[in-house]
């Protein structure tokens, strides 16, 4: 098969290289749900991360980097993304880039409907997650792989032709999470349940469940204009979940005056609500460090623009 032959060839090249670099390196592998399509997050702070495809992307990786810097943590962050693809694309086309070094931590996800050709079918996600894990472990046996279970798409739920048409908005996220649980078990990975956090925000009344009928007063629209990708608030919540999962730190400790929210136009009230949703979701899964830092009470623009 194409994926298998590409993987084997790239493994030979990768294994001939040097060992992984010391330090906490984090690589993000994904698509538009990682690079922040449809929002100001796409090119946000792109000078703070290494885009291995040289496309100037900041996205969720740059948000994660910003959070870690504010928390006093030292992570070297890189990304390799391509819109509209699953993990199979990266295996077939990008292992030469991904395998240039061994990574300490990798955050990855597949296509939003699990399989672009067979929506709702987890087979490709499970198989390719295992192949990616094998490749990464050949470069660094101690690599930590995280699989990001993505969110329910409103455009796949409310329109009649959607793959989840007629079902509650939460159902797609639940089905995606179940698929990622299977993939993580096969790959020896951990799941970052971003879709569960979206569902929690909706159930808590923080986020609006249906952008097609307007956004209720006081609620956040987690989707952008296409009802498919995330809004800046949605990507902010995604990044908070990655931050808490990878570092073990309490997202609430970033505080309502957190710099990235300030720079992206997210209100202090919304930043606080989204941080609480992220914490609640992470706490429901296991231990998390509570309030490990306290940031200044007021946003200082000079502090925020520091790199």
Tell me the pLDDT tens digit for each residue of 125-179: 999 999 999 999 999 999 999 999 999 999 999 999 999 999 999 999 999 999 9
Residue range 78-104: mean pLDDT, rounded: 97
pLDDT for 159 equals 98
For the full predicted model, state whether its pTM sits above 0.85: yes
- Phi/psi for 161 (5° steps) reads -90, 0
For the cut 60, the answer to whether the pLDDT of residue 17 exceeds it is no
Banded pLDDT at 287 (limits 50, 70, 90): confident
| Residue position matching structure tokens 């290494």 | 50
Q: Domains of the chain, with CATH numbers?
A: 2-15+28-305 (3.40.50.1110)
For the cut 80, the answer to whether the pLDDT of residue 305 exceeds it is no
Tell me the pLDDT tens digit for each residue of 26-44: 999 999 999 999 999 999 9
pLDDT for 12 equals 36
pLDDT for 303 equals 62
How high does pLDDT run on average in the chain? 90
Tell me the pLDDT tens digit for each residue of 168-217: 999 999 999 999 999 999 999 999 999 999 999 999 999 999 999 999 99
Beta bridge partners of 101: none
Nearest to 28 by CA among 116, 88, 103, 115: 103
| Residue position matching structure tokens 């790199």 | 307
**Strand runs (DSSP E) across 72-204, as ranges?**
76-81, 105-108, 144-149, 190-193
């Amino acid at each position: 098969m194409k994926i298998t032959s590409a993987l084997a060839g790239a493994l030979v090249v990768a294994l001939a290289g040097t060992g992984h670099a010391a330090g906490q390196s984090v690589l993000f592998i994904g698509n538009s749900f990682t690079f922040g399509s449809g929002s100001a997050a796409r090119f946000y702070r792109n000078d703070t991360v290494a885009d291995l495809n040289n496309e100037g992307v900041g996205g969720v990786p740059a948000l994660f980097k910003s959070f870690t810097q504010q928390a006093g943590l030292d992570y070297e962050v890189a990304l390799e993304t391509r819109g509209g693809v699953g993990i199979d694309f990266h295996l077939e086309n990008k292992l030469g880039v991904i395998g240039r070094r061994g990574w300490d931590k990798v955050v990855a996800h597949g296509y939003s409907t699990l399989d672009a050709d067979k929506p709702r079918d987890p087979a490709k996600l499970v198989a390719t997650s295992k192949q990616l894990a094998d490749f990464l472990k050949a470069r660094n046996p101690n690599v930590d792989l995280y699989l990001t279970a993505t969110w329910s798409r409103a455009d796949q739920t409310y329109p009649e032709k959607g793959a989840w048409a007629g079902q509650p908005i939460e159902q797609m996220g639940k089905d995606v999470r179940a698929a990622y649980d299977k993939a993580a078990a096969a790959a020896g990975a951990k799941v970052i349940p971003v879709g569960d956090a979206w569902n929690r925000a909706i159930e808590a009344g923080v986020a609006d469940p249906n952008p097609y009928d307007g956004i209720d007063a006081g609620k956040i629209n987690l989707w952008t204009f296409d009802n498919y990708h995330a809004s800046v608030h949605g990507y902010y919540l995604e990044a908070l979940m990655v931050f808490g999962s990878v570092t073990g730190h309490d997202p609430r400790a970033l505080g309502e005056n957190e710099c990235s929210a300030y720079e992206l136009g997210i209100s202090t009230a919304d930043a606080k609500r989204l941080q609480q949703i992220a914490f609640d979701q992470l706490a429901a899964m296991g231990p998390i460090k509570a309030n490990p830092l306290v940031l200044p009470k007021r946003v200082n623009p000079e502090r925020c623009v520091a790199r």
